[in-house]
Structure 1
């Protein structure tokens, strides 16, 4: 974890302190997203937007917002989760061909989690209610991507970003006769595959 923090700090520091006199290109756009790998069980397609402020030709700062859903089902319990991640990244970009650029990024993200759970009445019987309250939390992410330039200042891009996240909260089970509450804590790392378009200015 300390090594990842060091990498993130270096990327952000280079983005802010570099002052080359090259042409600066900022970006704004939207993307589709699909979560995979890490602790994701059964993701649904998501979406998001991003805005990138150029420091110089190679370095920039990006704010990206993505939202996706994840589901978990077994014989006893079903869990549905919506997660919205707000990511602030330092971006290093380098040309690979005439219209193609590659980039690396790293930074921090604030993650808003909405989780619902239900118990299988065939296993536990009727009359039980379950609730999960998960705290929003800060994670770290690393990623890489490609930009393909089009005409009229537009470009297409694809990106893979992996977020390291630990969640905390409480789970409660209630019935007419009793109530039970227990704190929960665990990792929820996830990767996001993004495909989208930007307008460059």
Structure 2
């Protein structure tokens, strides 16, 4: 084989190896490292602690709520003027997009137990989608649940012309009335079918992007 043929053979082999390596790398990353639009996953999912909450039917809810399905958890309150209706509308659209086989549920946790009775929660979430689960509980239990996920919230109220901040976990003062504001996180938290906190979505996002990310999660 002369030097010219040797060079041609060398470059041909190098090209084939390069293409093969490229396919291997592309295949490796496409299968083991999915690309998410908005999902931010924890390095290791964290098992949820026992929670003593009540749903919109007035039934006590335990950790069986999370088993064998993917759950998206959003903290808010029914008197919210902007963030809650907007995000619940998107999450309701997501439920309409999702395949039944995905076993996906949306869980709305009210951090305003003084105003958000079971009847009020039932009416509120039904407006968006009849399958949304609404939960509430004591201020102590709600604060513990929110703290586990890292969802911050507090209440702002004016009493006798003075502005007060009521931290999570503290009952509202008896003279607070009903005209107060709840300040809360807008992040949507992901619970996997094993009942573990797996990550979260940070807005802004839309329903098709959420569904795309969830399909990727289900494949893992």
Mark yes or no: TM-score above 0.5: no
Report the TM-score, using the length of structure 2 for normalisation. 0.25
Report the TM-score, using the length of structure 1 for normalisation. 0.26
Q: Which has the higher helix share?
A: 2
Q: Which has the higher strand share?
A: 1
Larger RCO (CA under 8 A, 6+ residues apart): 2
